Amino acid sequence: MSKKKKGAIAGVAAAVVIVCAAGAGNATYTINEQEQAVVTTFGVSHAVTDPGLHFKIPFVQHVTKVNTTIQSLRIGYDKNNDVIADESIMITSDFNFVDVDFYLEYRVSDPVKAVYASKDPDLILQNIAQSCIRAAISNYDVDSVLTTGKGEIQSRIKEMITEQLDLYNVGMQLVNISIQDSEPPTAEVMEAFKAVETAKQGKETSINNANKYRNEKLPIAEADADQILQEAEATKQERINEANAQVAMFNAKFEEYEKNPEVTKKRMFYEAMEGILPQLRVIIDGTDSTTTMLHEQLNSVSEQNVQSSASPADSSSTSK
């Protein structure tokens, strides 16, 4: 065998050895706890999720590792917390401009789709997030974006992004999105909104103080009203009883009047006169027995009234 042939055989053998060595070194791969692998065989892909050492067919199977941990995406600002105006400045439903920053957390839910469904799934997620954020912010007024509506806005944006990711089916899953900061784009507007917020807080404080005062005074007023009602009810019952007594007295007098109208009239007249002139002594001159009896009764009543109403000096002078 010539030297030339021997050299060719040796070269082929060396090449085979090199290829085999390379193939042997490319026959294994390792998956960490925080990743998965996509193994492609003649254009057919499947995911390998178990961590550890795995084998593959050299030059036939291709392995792509995918990070499956929760990753973050900043919208409106960069890693140095510098504002990215093109991303952060948005317009609200009442045509005000606001500067809003978002922090988004996501993970790969389907490694095969994350590798082959799109060229850059992270860029697709970023574009979807910015579109949904602007659409959501445009439905809220500036006060809601800056103050009271942040929680509702975050929930709405999360729903919208989730729907879009399901529609595009790029193997990405949104974990959470939150508003990092929201403020007017200029210092003058920012001061105006701060003044508005201070006024709102003052309003809430005044309302709370008014409610506290009402809660303190209302029970007292209710107790006073209840006492007044009770006193009125008692007065009402007292007047009713007095009226009933007067009615009974009138009925009794009326019965006596029906028995002897003339005597009753005179008696009522004299009683009225005694009430008007308590110190007047009434003398009645008559000859019949009825008039004499009435005269004696009236004299007795008159003397009693005079004695009860006279002063001590008058009593002593009368006795003399």
In a domain, 143, yes or no: yes
> pLDDT at position 307, please?
56
Pick from 128-132, 239-243, 269-273, 281-285: least confident:
281-285
Asked if residue 6 belongs to a domain, the reply is no
Under 8 Å CB-to-CB from 81, ≥6 apart: which residues? none
The answer to whether the CB of 62 falls within 8 A of the CB of 40 is yes
Percent with pLDDT over 90 in the chain: 33
How far apart, in whole angstroms, are the C-alpha atoms of residue 83 and residue 100? 10
Residue 250 structure tokens: 């009138």
Cα separation, 316 vs 320, in Å, equals 6
Query: Higher model confidence: residue 315 or residue 57?
Result: 57
Residue 272's pLDDT is 79
Amino acid in position 254 = F
Q: Mind listing the pLDDT tens digit for each residue in 66-102?
A: 888 999 999 999 888 888 888 888 989 988 888 999 9
243 and 265 housed in the same domain: no
Give the model confidence (pLDDT) of 273-299 as tens digits: 777 766 655 555 555 554 555 555 555
Whether 76 and 117 map to the same domain: the answer is yes
Whether 40 and 67 have beta carbons less than 8 Å apart is answered as: no
Instruction: Enumerate residues 6+ apart whose C-beta is below 8 A from 259.
Output: none
> What's the gap between Cα 55 and its chain centre?
59
Could you tell me if 60 and 144 lie in one domain? no
Picking from 143, 161, 185, the residue at the C-terminal end of a domain is: 185
Does 10 reside within a domain? no
Check pLDDT > 70 for residue 154: yes
Structural domain contains residue 9: no
Q: What is the reported pLDDT for 287? A: 55
In the predicted model, what is the mean pLDDT of the chain? 80
**For residue 306, what are the domain limits?**
260-319
60 lies in the same domain as 139: no
Q: How many structural domains does the chain have?
A: 4
Q: Tell which of 224, 253, 282 closes a domain.
A: 253
Domain co-membership, 118 together with 171: yes
Task: Say whether both 115 and 176 belong to one domain.
Answer: yes
21, pLDDT greater than 80: no
- Distance separating alpha carbons of residues 214 and 203, to the nearest angstrom: 16
Indicate if 78 and 173 belong to the same structural domain: yes
Q: List the CATH number of the domain containing 161.
A: 3.30.479.30
Alpha helices (H) in 119-186, listed in sequence order: 121-137, 142-143, 150-168
Q: What integer pLDDT is reported at residue 53 of this predicted model?
A: 86
- Please report the beta strands in 10-160, taking only residues with DSSP state E, as ranges in sequence order: 28-31, 35-41, 44-48, 52-55, 61-67, 71-75, 89-91, 97-108
The vertex-88 CA angle with 122 and 67, nearest 5°, equals 20
Is the domain of 264 the same as that of 236?
A: no
- 26-68, pLDDT tens digit by residue? 778 888 888 888 888 887 888 887 887 887 888 788 888 888 8
CB 117, CB 202: distance < 8 Å: no
The reported pLDDT for the residue numbered 9 is 58
Of 261 and 157, which is predicted with more confidence? 157
* 175-233 residue pLDDT tens: 999 999 888 876 666 677 678 778 888 898 999 999 999 999 999 999 999 999 999 99
Looking at the domain assignment, is residue 227 inside a domain? yes
Residue 123 within any structural domain of the chain: yes
**What is the structure's pLDDT at 285?**
56
Statement to judge: residues 209 and 280 lie in one domain: no
273: in domain: yes
- Distance, in Å, from the CA atom of 86 to the CA atom of 80, rounded to the nearest integer, reads 16
- 300 and 207 in one domain? no
Indicate whether 95 and 199 sit together in one domain: no
Q: 0.75 cut: is pTM over it? A: no
Domain endpoint, select from 216, 233, 253: 253
Per the domain annotation, does 106 fall within a domain?
yes
User: Do 128 and 160 fall into the same domain?
Assistant: yes
